[in-house]
Structure 1
């Protein structure tokens, strides 16, 4: 029951924060919509600020996506050959695209992260330390294993290929649909985009393309 109340508060508050922004949402609005006492926020989170941070972390971590570090730890043998290294890139790109654009994912989870990226609050520091920095560092570390002669800036630029394209699709979704049509970012297109992105990242890393990515 305690966990149910906490998760309900995160979901309800997340929806409100995503739609209205942090400053426009009061604790009373959250508890009234959740059907719980005002004291529940203090009990579970301490402050509205802490609740907002929990919402952002929850939104980004739901269905936690695969990272380069995850694959390198789980399947270290893939690092031993260029073909295996290319497989790692393909796995990460396809999984990340699926994670970020899963149709069943609640809309508020995407909206609150978009809002936080464009108008950072104190929550961004927590997101950066817990999620963004470790994720990007694992991508850069992988690139340096594949191309030990590369500079840190080159590794950062390489990891930005993936994060940048996915951020574009998230942040510019409405604009893209206005230009290309209502279903411009449907699952078929996103699957094609994942393969195209994986192909570009593999080739830029100087690795052989997996057979299914060869046109």
Structure 2
């Protein structure tokens, strides 16, 4: 194994190794030694670069969340400021939100593990789940509530949460169980398949709420 290095390449190798292992086995089942061996680094390099395994896992989560932070739903809605009461705008907003979810989940093929570690964090009883909720789940729910209130002003919080889960659930399901749908030689869905997934989700939402359908 190599010695300590200040290079960004070493940091990224450790993040990738920890991410892949956590995606497959869960954060609680990944040892410092396993991460170091997979990254071809000394165990001490984890402490040198991150201060320990817990901090490394936080960086894994931040890496997985970065695409969502760069493309928040709030940004999509702000682009339609003053027009969110228009059905055609609501319909387009839904299209962009679903597209954003799919791009964030599947757009970074070289880091196939990103979405899987988010799933693992949801099922972890540790600060990683709090980080996920604080930086992704709560903001997304708040922004989707904002849109749904324009579509149906008297919608209850319970009904809104139901429709948010229905809209986002299939994307999450595809991300977490891709190995059951794909051959061992592939780590991602085709662009054609993802476009069909997007179209099905958007059209179902449009039909339910009586919004204009895409031409």
Q: Same fold (TM over 0.5)?
A: yes
Name the CA shift for 1:170/1:32 in 2 (closer, same or farther; >3 Å): closer
Partner of 1:191: 195
After superposition, residues 24-43 of structure 1 pair within 5 angstroms as 24-43=29-48
**Alignment-derived partner of residue 19 in structure 2:** 14
CA distance in 2, matches of 1:20, 1:158: 31
Per the normalisation by structure 1, the TM-score is 0.79
> C-alpha separation between the residues in 1 aligned to 2:41 and 2:202?
46
Closer/same/farther in 2, CA of residues 53 and 191 from structure 1, 3 Å limit: same
Residues 1:148 and 2:172 are matched in the alignment: no
State the aligned residue count.
207
Per the alignment, do residues 197 and 19 of structure 1 end up closer, same or farther by CA in structure 2, a change over 3 Å counting? closer
Corresponding position of 1:53: 58
Deviations 1:95-139 (A, max 9, x none): 32233233724222233233334x324111111111111112211
Gaps of 5+ in 1: none
Indicate conservation of the 8 Å contact 1:27/1:38, yes or no.
Answer: yes
Which whole-Å CA distance do the structure 1 matches of 2:18 and 2:117 have between them?
Answer: 10
Normalization by structure 2: what TM-score? 0.79
**Residue 128 of structure 1 is aligned with which of 129, 133, 139?**
133
Matched with 1:204 is: 208
Q: Deviations along 1:158-185, whole A, 9 cap, x unmatched?
A: 211221111222234344569xxx9xx5
Q: CA deviation at 1:89?
A: 0.8
Other-structure match for 1:96? 101
Give the whole-Å Cα distance in 2 for the aligned partners of 1:11 and 1:62. Answer: 16
Residue 72 in 1 paired to residue 77 in 2? yes
* Corresponding residue SS for 2:171: helix
Taking structure 1 as reference, are residues 105 and 89 closer, same or farther at Cα in structure 2, changes over 3 Å only?
farther
Q: In terms of mean alpha carbon deviation, does 80-89 or 18-27 score higher?
A: 18-27
Q: 2:24 & 2:180 partners in 1: Cα distance?
A: 19
Q: What is the CA–CA distance in structure 1 between the aligned matches of 2:99 and 2:195, rounded to whole Å?
A: 7
Please tell me whether the aligned partners of residues 65 and 96 of structure 1 are also in contact (alpha carbons under 8 angstroms).
no
Distance 1:79 1:55, change over 3 A: same
Of the candidates 80, 84, 89, which is equivalent to residue 84 of structure 1? 89
CA contact (8 A) 2:80 2:89 kept: no
